Amino acid sequence: MSLRNGLLVLLIGLFAAPALAAQCPALLQGELPKLRSKARIDLCEQFAGKPLVVVNTASFCGFTPQFKGLEALYQRYRAEGLEVLGVPSDDFKQESADVEETASVCYVNYGVTFTMSEPQVVTGADATTLFKALTAQSQAPDWNFNKYVIDRQGKVVARFSSRVEPDDPRLIEAVEQAIASGP
């Protein structure tokens, strides 16, 4: 690569980074540690411009079998761009203190293939930035397995309580609305 081409690549990179940051909705600005990995989930890089379902999960909750339905939802719509992000939390005292046990519940017991973070605080002043943004657009989780449907522009189009199953027609309608929300 010539010096001129190298400078051109550098300049494009310098100008592209702020443009990409400007395109990233506030809701997705931040990172979370990925479950069973040293990697971090760059929310903007992974989810910007995509329809997304964010769920606060727990390994030992009566609603934990919803992992199966969430995985089915993800498989059904992923070809249309849908992403699912599971965020384990012990806010309601039903998550393991052992990250490996959390990973085992998700990946081994329920066959989850969608993105999972390490356990996070999802309520109150110490909530992770993502959940503060979700709360600002909707409301804070009042129990495990609250489901937030987010459109391609980073706006919450619907929030569903734990009692709403992943195959509920209202949730499916919201997911389809999020998928149709843009390019």
- Is residue 9, in this structure, part of any structural domain at all? no
Choose, from 24, 44, 61, 106, the residue flagged as catalytic: 61
Instruction: Please state the domain count of the chain.
Output: 1
Distances (CA, A) of 153 to 50, 110, 127, 182: 8, 30, 22, 8
CB atoms within 10 A of CB 176: 15
Q: Containing domain of residue 30, as a range?
A: 26-179
CB contact at 8 A, 89 and 58:
yes
- Is residue 14, in this structure, part of any structural domain at all? no
pLDDT (average), residues 105-112: 97
- Is residue 161, in this structure, part of any structural domain at all? yes
What would the pLDDT profile of 39-95 be if each residue is shown by its tens digit? Answer: 999 999 999 999 999 999 999 999 999 999 999 999 999 999 999 999 999 999 999
What would the pLDDT profile of 130-144 be if each residue is shown by its tens digit? Answer: 999 999 999 999 999
| β-strand partners of 83 | 52
What would the pLDDT profile of 24-37 be if each residue is shown by its tens digit? Answer: 999 999 999 999 99
What would the pLDDT profile of 141-167 be if each residue is shown by its tens digit? Answer: 999 999 999 999 999 999 999 999 999
| β-strand partners of 116 | 86
- Is residue 45, in this structure, part of any structural domain at all? yes
Position with higher pLDDT, 11 vs 35: 35
* pTM: predicted TM-score of the whole model, two decimal places: 0.88
* Alpha carbons 67 and 34: distance in angstroms, whole number: 17
- Is residue 10, in this structure, part of any structural domain at all? no
CATH number of the domain enclosing 143:
3.40.30.10
- Which residue from 55, 31, 13, 19 is spatially nearest to 156, judged by alpha carbons? 55
- Is residue 4, in this structure, part of any structural domain at all? no
| β-strand partners of 30 | none
- Is residue 20, in this structure, part of any structural domain at all? no
Distances (CA, A) of 23 to 19, 29, 32, 176: 6, 10, 19, 22
- Two structure tokens written together for 183: 């390019």
CB atoms within 10 A of CB 131: 24
pLDDT attached to residue 14: 44
Per-residue confidence band for 10, with pLDDT thresholds at 50, 70 and 90: very low
Q: Is 24 a catalytic residue?
A: no
- Is residue 132, in this structure, part of any structural domain at all? yes
Q: Is the pLDDT of residue 17 over 80?
A: no
